[in-house]
Amino acid sequence: MLSLKQISKYYSSGGAKTYVLNRVDLDVDQGEFVSIMGPSGSGKSTLLNIIGMLDQPSEGYQYFLNEPVHQLKDKQRSALYKQNIGFVFQAYHLIDELTVYENIETPLLYQDVKSAERKALVADILDRFNIVGKKDLFPEQLSGGQQQLVGIARALISKPKLILADEPTGNLNSKQGEEIMELFKKLNKEDGVTVIQVTHSEKNAQYGSRIINLLDGKIDSSIIL
Amino acid sequence: MLKNYIKTAWRNLWKGRVFNLLNLVGLAVAIACCTLIFLTVFYEFTYDRFHTKLDNIYQIYTVSNRAEGAEVTSSVPEPLTPALKAEYPAVKYMTRSADAGALIKYGNKELDENLHFVDEDFLKMFTFPLIEGNKNNVLSGLNNVVITQATAKALFGEEPALNKTVLLNINNVQQPFIVSGILEDISRHSSIEFDLLVRFEHYPNYAANINAWENRTHIAMIEFNNGYDPASFTSQLTPFVKKHFAPSIEILKKDGAKPNEKGDIFWLDIAPFSNNHFATNLGGVEGNPVNKTYPVSLIVIGCFILIIACINFINLSVARGFTRSREVGVRKTLGASKGQLLIQFWIETIMVCLASMVVGLLLCMALINQFKAIFKSRISLSMLLDPVTLFGIIILFLLVTAIAGFYPALMMVRYKTVAVLKGNTASTKPGKLRNTLLVVQFSLSTLLIICTIITWQQINYLQNKPLGYNKTEVLSIPVSGGLIGEKALKLMRNELKNHAEVASVTGAYMNMGRGNDGSSRSSILGFNFGDKEIRTHIQRVDYDYLKTLDIKLLEGREFNPDFAGDSTAVIINETMARQLGTKNVLGSFVPMYDSVAKVQVVGIVKDYNFRSLHEDIAPLTLTMDKHYEINYIFVKVKPGNLVASYDAIKKSWNRQYPNTEFEGSWINENTERQYLNERRLSGIFVSGAVIAIVISCIGLLAISIMIVLQRTKEIGIRKVLGSSVGGIVLLLSMDFVKLVLLASVIAFPIAWWLMNNWLQSFAYRITIQWWVFALATLLAILLAFITISFQSVKAALANPVKSLRSE
């Protein structure tokens, strides 16, 4: 599904290059559930951002669904991720001014989905996540776990092939965390959505099918569970 | 989609309501001011536009290239108009024009009306539509009179007015006239104002002047043939001038006039009538022209306010954008394109602008009456519905939203998604643009403060400068409404003799300052004395003139009824004595009138400012010559109760003249009236400065809120490290104070140049002092500091634990 070849990301400061990622090779297949682990500063989030095309590598080749991402223009890149990737953040990043319903609806607006279809899709997902009763609430009126649930619903609304989750349970208590992880597992198993998550927690990493350990910008180990 | 945008925009605006309210108030105030200002400007610039042939109409004027500079006057001799019409086929129509007050009588009704003496062509040139009568022949009869609808109504009521015979009293001669036409009432937007039109042949002394090329008594307007380019008309007039004005040119030559680069000493020129409302330099036009400086400075100030408000808007939106950066990032990950984001933020801008517009126009409605009173403006809000203004407003609105909305929106859209999601935007350095804009804002504000102080100083100086005569205890009464000055003076003198509070009574040809009658006169006489030409202002006075006005007599004596020869004697001022130049001026005989005997100088008075302080004291001759009328009666009262004295004098006037309004006013009121324009300008500056400062400070306040938000962590750390509250306030304020200081320095030379130019229009003026600049700067800094302090003190006092924990 996606393939990174010799991907590097560095910042030059005063002539010296500081590598965040150093010649990383990574292939992820359709239907995998990959957990990226590693200490702070090892480059996990950067790697995830590059995969999600929010950030661009300094060097290397990147393919997504057989498209050479490194050759695409800004517009094409954003069209590509807009249709295929859903993001889930540690800090949820819901839009405070929008209700639950509107937050979930937003990606569809940007994809020019028709009003009637939008309504059906949002209603469907609200139902599936059991948050119909909360649809008119604003994010600040929800608990952290509920907010993340909305975050995931929003990521899923446009039926992405890939979900990228940056420490999705980082701000949640363990019970809420477990529920979210169960949800990811279910999505992966039942809907065949590819999931890549960054996590600190050994326990959460176990939900996946593969664990990649990063250290100082390099892949230290890759374990298939 | 649009609905969604508006919904989110509304919620966002509501969320930042304090901020947006500041923004809205600033913009609304600016819109209100600009609406009033631009309406006034529009009004001034559209004067006389209702004349359909406006662009073909010109006023003729003369230029004499005197030794002391070119002298422009629009007064022309009577034979000029017929001669030009006869000799130049390009002249399609031409009319002479002069005005006077006249009494019109029908039955037992009598009205004091404004009369215009014109030629037949007048109504063919100017667009004054006739309700009754035919414009081609209404003035064909010598004794025809054309009246306005209002006059017709006042005089005839519901009776038909056409072809009725009325009695007109012009210059104390009563004659019957036939009403041959009725005009629609004249727009208030017209320079030419009159109630009655009669043929120019009725102008006083018409017959005597019919061939007198030297006597310039009235103004004249030309309409050229359609398609004629009048650019070359002036040069075509050269032979005409040579032929008819030779004696005038001779006199000028003797007088030391020099030819200009084209070799002309005296020439005729034309000025477009479309500029009539601003023609203050032609030396006499129709109506009361205004100096173009005022509408122009209004435009400038309006633009200043608009610029300052736009800058505010930009700064506020950019500042607010920082808090929105996360939203931008999220929306981008959700697939928003730049265009979509741009539109979203722009819609917010448009909503704020629209709201500001509504509030601004409401504000405008609330303020319009005061504005009209202060600035003597005749605008009305219905002018907003005029297609031209409406179009202008829409353009302005789009411009403001485009400038003020686009840049901040672009800024926000450009945020780096990843950085923003990590919460990294707050650390960006305050933009150069923001600082530049702040400097511009405060430069404009300081500029206006300096202008305010200097105009105020100058007006104060004008008011307090001793003029060389008593202006507080002397009442000046215009003799109007067809009364004969001499008779009125005699009556009043007798009447007031018995009043204990009256010190003395006299009369004069010229007023001091500008009285309630609004008119101003001056008469200049030139004569040959020895080998040079002497020019002097003439003031016809009566006995006790010097005594009444407390003018200091240096040598000789005042006019005295005991001396029989005083009707041919003169009293001159120092400047005149200097100009005559001979020793023993006192007692000498001067050939002031070429025809009659020489007049004797019986007294010399100390120079006094008989004209406004715009001008130097000119040579002046006081005479009792009966050829000049008495137009004003001066009454000096004893100090004490001026109000009671005024009432007493008014009562005696009304006893004498129950039908003529008492228009007396104290001379200091009259002299102040000479500086109405300056007061108006100063009013404009003060209001401009206040509004500019208020809007700038609103902007500064909002930015300081933003800065404090951005630097919360830094402030916390500094406090933990032991910084005092004062230290932190200073730290936060210093950046801005520096900017304001820089802004002031930029404003100095501009303000100095502007004000120096303005002061040049006064013969008597203050010198610009350095402390004015210091004061203005201090004021700006103080205001900026106070504004910022609201936020910085709060931030400095906050508990650092809180701010650090929130990271």
The full DSSP string for A46-109 is: HHHHHHTTSS--SEEEEEETTEEGGG--HHHHHHHHHHHEEEE-TT----TTS-HHHHHHHHHH
CATH number of the domain encompassing residue A48? 3.40.50.300
Q: What is the pLDDT of residue A63?
A: 93
What number is the average pLDDT over the span B91-96?
A: 93
pLDDT band at B804 (very low <50, low <70, confident <90, very high): low
A96 touches chain B (CB under 8 A): yes
pLDDT band at B425 (very low <50, low <70, confident <90, very high): low
Q: What is the pLDDT of residue A144?
A: 87
Q: What is the pLDDT of residue B717?
A: 82
B245 Cβ neighbours under 8 A, 6+ residues apart: B213, B266
| Integer Cα distance of A171 and A199 in angstroms | 12
Domain, as residue range, for A177: 2-224
Nearest chain A Cα distance for residue B19, angstroms: 16
Nearest chain B Cα distance for residue A225, angstroms: 31
What number is the average pLDDT over the span B500-522?
A: 84
B494 Cβ neighbours under 8 A, 6+ residues apart: none
Looking at beta carbons, which residues of chain A come within 8 Å of B2? Answer: none
Looking at beta carbons, which residues of chain A come within 8 Å of B335? Answer: 78, 81-83, 107, 110-111, 158
B687 Cβ neighbours under 8 A, 6+ residues apart: B33, B374
Nearest chain B Cα distance for residue A119, angstroms: 13
Name the strand (E) or helix (H) holding B569.
strand B569-573
Q: Which residue of B has its CA nearest to A95?
A: B327
| pLDDT surpassing 60 at residue B582 | yes
Query: pLDDT of B426-476, one tens digit each?
Result: 445 557 778 888 899 889 889 989 988 998 999 899 888 898 998 889 999
| pLDDT surpassing 50 at residue B807 | no
Mutate to test the interface with B, among A78, A80, A113, A166 (most CBs of B within 10 A): A78
- Is B418 in contact with A75 (Cβ distance < 8 A)? no
**Residues B639/B641/B647/B652 CA torsion (nearest 10 deg):** -50
| pLDDT surpassing 50 at residue B725 | yes
Q: What is the pLDDT of residue B427?
A: 47
Give the burial class of B713: count Cβ atoms within 10 A of its Cβ; 0-12 exposed, 13-18 middle, 19 or more buried.
middle
Q: Indicate the residue of B336, B418, B421 with minimum beta-carbon distance to A110.
A: B336
Copy the structure tokens of residue B576: 């005149």
Q: Count structural domains, chain A.
A: 1
Nearest chain A Cα distance for residue B355, angstroms: 20
Looking at beta carbons, which residues of chain A come within 8 Å of B5? Answer: none
Q: What is the ipTM of this complex?
A: 0.85
Query: pLDDT of B650-701, one tens digit each?
Result: 988 888 887 777 888 999 888 888 887 788 778 888 888 888 888 888 888 8
pLDDT band at B352 (very low <50, low <70, confident <90, very high): confident
Mean pLDDT (chain A) is: 89
| pLDDT surpassing 90 at residue B627 | no
**Weakest mean pLDDT among A198-202, B252-256, B608-612:** B252-256
Query: pLDDT of B17-74, one tens digit each?
Result: 877 888 888 889 888 888 888 888 888 888 888 899 999 999 999 988 877 778 888 8
One DSSP character per residue, B278-298 reads G-TTSS--SS----THHHHHH
Q: What is the pLDDT of residue B429?
A: 55
Q: Indicate the residue of B7, B329, B335 with minimum beta-carbon distance to A78.
A: B335
- Is A55 in contact with B418 (Cβ distance < 8 A)? yes
Query: pLDDT of B167-223, one tens digit each?
Result: 988 877 888 999 999 999 988 788 898 999 999 999 888 888 888 888 888 899 999
- Is B8 in contact with A81 (Cβ distance < 8 A)? no
| Integer Cα distance of B447 and B796 in angstroms | 33
Looking at beta carbons, which residues of chain B come within 8 Å of A49? Answer: 418
Nearest chain A Cα distance for residue B744, angstroms: 39
CB pairs under 8 A between A and B: 57
Q: What is the pLDDT of residue B424?
A: 61
One DSSP character per residue, B755-785 reads HHHHHTT-SS-PPPPHHHHHHHHHHHHHHHH
pLDDT band at B501 (very low <50, low <70, confident <90, very high): confident
Mean pLDDT (chain B) is: 85
Q: Specify the residue for token string 């930015």.
A: B703
One DSSP character per residue, B152-216 reads HHHHHTTS--TT-EEEEEETTEEEEEEEEEEEPPPPTT-S---SEEEEGGGSTTTTTTTT-TT-E
